[in-house]
A and B are shown apart, each in its own frame.
Chain A
């Protein structure tokens, strides 16, 4: 029945909007609580990290991906499996550094920013910074220390959203994640 099918889609759409609207409410609240955009960005990164260290288990359980042998495989898994699973988009991977330790994720559209406009007095706010923390936290749990940062943002007028990922080092010690 097409009505049932569209009901299912409506439901998924609402679930998705529940997340993006809640994220928007969180960013708004943080902007009230902290005096400057830098602090909000740091807070979003920290919260994202805490989410990432838990999300990785959910991801590994549901995706069945094996161990990645190098950073290129990791990039593929992030873009084609993880982003697809959690945000329903598949960023493209570009701009590999010659050493193979840096790449960019290009997001044509970013579900987090649907319906969002940045007010003028928040030009330094990295609205989606939670994502960088999530990537960092999740990868740390699989023994990779990385840096993730936004270098382009459609919210700031850029044509695409670009996240730059840099491999720092492999984490040899199996230290438990610090509870923050």
Chain B
């Protein structure tokens, strides 16, 4: 689908017309995960099929992340360092998308960052605890792509993976790729 870029002013204060409710994204992603998984189950069971679903979801997340990155408010300060960009993702982008900030950001100052969300909204609906941990990665592929896409718009190439320890907490690992 071709996407036209168009500036849109939102009415300040009240919720503007034509804005989708935040619940819709969660419903849509849940169904996308279910649909891609159902399709892979039949013709191509096994690790190869799973890999296709995950990379399709990650790829969609990437394109959406890029598009969102382009719509970021124009008064964005130029990032002095990579760390500023990561902080921006953790605070501003995450809050804009999921109504909460990342809970922690750690780095080894050598291009690896770990972003932790103790209560990631996409995972909250799943039962808390260990039982559904195997299902969770399917829901994290898209957000990994989102982060990778937003970073790419900020001029940063990266690899993003995610892991779940105990629902609904998860960690995103961002490894900056030097060209």
Q: What is A's interface to B at a CB cutoff of 8 Å?
A: 2, 5-6, 9-29, 31, 33, 43, 47, 50-51, 54-55, 58, 85-89, 109, 111, 114-119, 127, 180
A86 to chain B: closest residue by CB: B21
15 contacts between A and B (CB under 8 A): A5-B13, A6-B10, A15-B19, A15-B22, A16-B19, A18-B64, A19-B25, A25-B60, A26-B60, A50-B34, A51-B27, A88-B18, A117-B1, A117-B3, A119-B1
Contact with A along B11-50 (1 / 0, CB 8 A): 1110111111111110111111011001100000000000
Q: Answer whether A15 and B28 are a contact pair too, CB < 8 Å, given A9-B12, A88-B15.
A: no
Interface range on chain B: under 10, 10 to 19, 20 to 34, or 35 or more?
35 or more
In the bound complex, how far is the Cα of B16 from the Cα of A63, in angstroms?
A: 19
Shortest beta-carbon distance, A153 to chain B, in Å?
Answer: 14
Q: Report if B5 contacts A (CB, 8 A).
A: yes
Q: Report if B157 contacts A (CB, 8 A).
A: no
Q: Report if B80 contacts A (CB, 8 A).
A: no
Find chain B residues with CB under 8 A from A54 CB: 27, 30
Shortest beta-carbon distance, A105 to chain B, in Å?
Answer: 15
Which of A21, A111, A115 makes the CB contact (< 8 A) with B19? A111
In the bound complex, how far is the Cα of B12 from the Cα of A12, in angstroms?
A: 11
Q: Report if B130 contacts A (CB, 8 A).
A: no
Majority secondary structure of chain B interface residues (helix, strand, loop or mixed): helix
Q: Report if B6 contacts A (CB, 8 A).
A: yes
Which of A2, A11, A14, A109 makes the CB contact (< 8 A) with B68? A14
In the bound complex, how far is the Cα of B99 from the Cα of A55, in angstroms?
A: 20
Shortest beta-carbon distance, B82 to chain A, in Å?
Answer: 22
Q: Most chain-A Cβ atoms within 10 A of its Cβ — which of B12, B21, B25, B142?
A: B21
In the bound complex, how far is the Cα of B56 from the Cα of A98, in angstroms?
A: 48
CB-based contact B10/A115 at 8 Å: no
Q: Most chain-B Cβ atoms within 10 A of its Cβ — which of A6, A87, A115?
A: A115
Q: Report if B96 contacts A (CB, 8 A).
A: yes
Find chain A residues with CB under 8 A from B124 CB: none
CB-based contact B96/A51 at 8 Å: no
Shortest beta-carbon distance, A18 to chain B, in Å?
Answer: 5
Q: Answer whether A9 and B28 are a contact pair too, CB < 8 Å, given A29-B60, A115-B4, A116-B3.
A: no
CB-based contact B24/A19 at 8 Å: yes
CB-based contact B19/A12 at 8 Å: yes
In the bound complex, how far is the Cα of B21 from the Cα of A117, in angstroms?
A: 23
